[in-house]
Structure 1
Amino acid sequence: MKLLGLDVGDARIGVAVAESGRPFAFGRGWIERGDGDPVEAVVELARREGAGLVVVGLPLRTGGEEGEQAAKTRRFAAALEKAGLRVEFVDERFTSRLAGQRLAHLPRKKRREKGRLDEAAAVAILESYLESRG
């Protein structure tokens, strides 16, 4: 089964894909939140990729509690479920830092490109999910 990983932010949604049972995820770019309906865009992408599950990074605070951003993410995930997608969450507390480290080898201009960090964070979220499932 294919999996779709999302790093849901206010401006962009980073996207990654993976096969269940495999340890690696691959970036699929990002969705700009201002370019139409982001739920519709994710539903279309999941259909195109043949994804049976959407893994959404849940932004918890350092102590593990949920804040406003987690509430926004849960509302977005609920809209995905209402549209017919199966959704699971994974703790994304340290994925942005990991994503930044993974992008360190890129030239500065490419590394600072809007959306690049969101895509890398989606990859880290999905790989974290895959690792937790063995």
Structure 2
Amino acid sequence: MRIAVDWGKARIGVAACDREGILAFPVETVPTKDRPIARLARIVAEYEPVEVVMGLPVALDGHEGIAARDVRAAGAQLAEAIAPVPLRYVDERMTTRAAARALHDSGRDSRHQRQVIDQAAAVAILEHVLDQARSTGGHTGGQGEQQ
């Protein structure tokens, strides 16, 4: 099992996958104003993942700007709070846009998207990680997984 985190200025989307690493699903949207590190640490403790992946907002040209530095700073705090569970960063280019498009295409009213867009982006990040693991022959789930 893995947990994905899509860190935003106002909200943090959280997603998880099943133990076999087949299905990614939304977990929760955590407001950034309400001690988000403590809440995320509780989610990690509850789900007991083999790792946490955190979306890193990399620019289209590949450089890391202010947003990426902010995510890395939050990630450092989260990594400390969830140790020994490893945290790694994954390129999240286009995941929020893809999540918004998918929600729109499924008929979701745009006024209600904010409540789920961050979770959908976290699902997209996690699906990307799972797809990469499958394409390289790596393990996608947590059962017997080597780190």
What TM-score do you get using the length of structure 2 for normalisation?
0.82
1:42 matched residue in structure 2: 40
2:145 match = none
Count of aligned pairs: 131
| Structure richer in strand, relative to its length | 1
CA shift, 1:48, in A, is 0.9
Larger gyration radius, structure 1 or structure 2: 2
Aligned to 1:108: 109
1:72-91 equivalences in 2 (<5 Å): 72-83=70-81, 84=83, 85-91=85-91
User: Quick one: distance in 1 between partners of 2:58 and 2:19?
Assistant: 25
Q: Distance in 1 between matches of 2:123 and 2:58?
A: 18
Q: Deviations over 1:59-115 (max 9, x none)?
A: 001101000000010111111111214101111011012101221213315x63433
Tell me the residue number matched to 1:127. Answer: 127
Q: Any unmatched runs of 5+ in structure 2?
A: 135-147
TM-score normalised to structure 1 length: 0.90
How much has 1:132 moved relative to structure 2? 1.1
Separation in structure 1 between the aligned mates of residue 99 and residue 5 of structure 2, nearest angstrom = 13
Residue 37 of structure 2 aligns to a residue in which SS? helix
Structure 1, 64-73 or 78-87: larger mean CA deviation: 78-87
What is residue 54 of structure 1 aligned with on the other side? 52
Give me the whole-angstrom Cα distance separating, in 2, the residues matched to 1:14 and 1:76.
14
Identity of aligned residues (%): 34
The aligned residue for residue 141 of structure 2 is none
For residues 106 and 31 of structure 1, the distance between their equivalents in structure 2, rounded to whole angstroms, comes to 24
Match of 2:16 in 1: 17
Give the Cα separation in 2 of the matches to 1:88 and 1:126: 12
Q: What is the RMSD of the two structures over their aligned residues, measured on CA atoms?
A: 1.5
Deviation at 1:20, TM superposition (A): 5.6
Deviation at 1:127, TM superposition (A): 0.5
Tell me the amino acid that sits aligned with residue 41 of structure 1: R
